[in-house]
Copies of this chain bind each other. A is one copy, B any other.
Amino acid sequence: MEQPDLDTSVLDARLAAAKEASYRLARATTAEKDAALERIASDLRARASEVIAANGLDLQAGRAAEIGRGLLDRLALDEPRIDALADAVLDVIGLTDPVGETLTGRTLPSGVRIDQVRVPLGVVGAIYEARPNVTIDIAVLALKSGNAVVLRGGSAAEQTNRVLVDVLRGALDAVGLPAEAVQTVDDFGRAGARHLMQARGYVDVLIPRGSAGLIRAVVDEARVPVIETGAGVVHMFLDASAPEHWAIELVHNAKVQRPSVCNALETLLVHQEAAERLLPSVLDRLTDAGVTIHADERVRAIRPDALPVTDEDFATEHMSLDLSVAVVDSLDDALEHIRRFSTKHTESIVTNDLANAERFLNEVDSAAVMVNASTRFTDGAEFGFGAEVGISTQKLHARGPMGLPELTSTKWIVRGAGHVRA
């Protein structure tokens, strides 16, 4: 699988250095880690012009490669964005350090004492695409929770990331923590990414952040544990009893407030008994906001100018002002549709029927299930986590918005006085 001329010994040396540094980070005090974060924030500001110059090279290459306006916008860093990034680093200082927390403990009948305590995962790998702010975000969250990181940003951000990694390593070194706790494999391109995905024994968890395609590729190729983040084909169901003003506001907020993110609405399902009552005003509010409606036949009977919707639309996370809309016969049909097309991120029911609300909450198998609330609430900051590593759509280890505790594992501390097992 490796390219013939790839010198894996360099990559292995970096991974081994990250592992070694992770042992030191695991023992670092909260004060030491916070000092590093403070230094990262101040160095980011101090070296802003250097970051912006490197970013300029990436932007230039991106424009030449015609990567598109959306990507260019995510890639771009200027003084205000760097300032905001530094502020976000300082915010992490205020978060509770999860390491060392005792989750449970008891004295066994034999007198042996056991305690389950939080420990860092060790080495966190991150694979993401052309968003240099992720470089700082993920490294800072990993460091605060006592982990080393190995980063693979998109090649489109390579020059920017090079400077940012240098800032991170310099700050660690300045406060007496090992610079080796931050590593990059960007200079090895895709071969570096593949090596990272297969680095069993070195990488304790790998977090892909980005498109569905990226995440799928990582899941397919990885031999290390992965936390899948992401894709949100998010549904809202307007039940027969849905109050009209809630329906209008909730659908509008879920779809329009920030359409490019994973908790934004992609599909609206409407109970047949409510379709004529609700759809005109709900859809008017959306089209006024510039939303393109992709609708099934029953919706188009009410709104003939809507585009026809396909199964492909139902399965797509548009991340744009496009919305699929369908009428369903019943709550059961809504649940069935959701089961078929949902990516298990967030779904919401709008209803005034208690039994239906409870059924929806119980039976929808998603990270966040809501009643009468906008799907935009599925978010680490909204949930009060202070920062967000990503939103897990898998069921193992972490589900939904991930904060610092999700970057830890546990270990059992067992204390005896010569106790043997009978």
Residues in A lying within 8 Å of B, measured CB to CB: 23, 26-27, 106, 108, 112, 114, 116, 119, 121-122, 200, 204-205, 219-220, 223, 225-227, 243, 245-246, 249-250, 252-254, 257, 339, 348, 361-363, 365-374, 376-378, 382-384, 394-397, 399-400, 409-421
Contact = CB atoms under 8 A, between A and B. Distances in A.
Contacts of A249: 418, 420
A420 B374 contact: yes
B420 A253 contact: yes
B373 A23 contact: no
Given A395-B204, A412-B367, A418 B382 contact: no
Q: Report copies per complex.
A: 2
A116, A371, A395, A417, most chain B CB atoms within 10 A: A395
Given A223-B220, A368-B411, A412-B368, A382 B108 contact: yes
Given A122-B365, A400-B412, A411-B399, A374 B243 contact: no
A365 B418 contact: no
Contact of A417 (B119, B220, B372): B372
A421 B243 contact: no
Interface of A is mostly: mixed
B395 A121 contact: yes
A419 B205 contact: no
Nearest to A370: B414
Given A371-B416, A414-B371, A395 B205 contact: yes
Contacts of A205: 395-396
Contact of A114 (B362, B383, B395): B383
B399 A397 contact: no
Given A112-B377, A409-B396, A421 B368 contact: no
Contacts of A420: 249-250, 252-254, 257, 374, 376
A410 B382 CA distance: 18
B368 A415 contact: no
A410 B399 contact: yes
A418 B372 contact: yes
Given A253-B421, A361-B413, 6 more contacts: A114-B377, A348-B414, A367-B412, A370-B413, A374-B419, A397-B397
Contacts of A414: 348, 368-371, 373, 377-378
A122 B411 CA distance: 26
Contacts of A106: 384
A172 B165 CA distance: 56
Contacts of A412: 367-369, 378, 383, 399-400
B413 A369 contact: yes
A210 B420 CA distance: 26
A418 B370 contact: no
B122 A377 contact: no
Contact of A409 (B253, B399, B410): B399
A419 B246 CA distance: 8
A122, A365, A382, A417, most chain B CB atoms within 10 A: A365
Contacts of A122: 365, 395
A415 B27 contact: no
A76 to B, nearest CB: 25
Given A394-B225, A395-B122, A411-B399, A362 B27 contact: yes
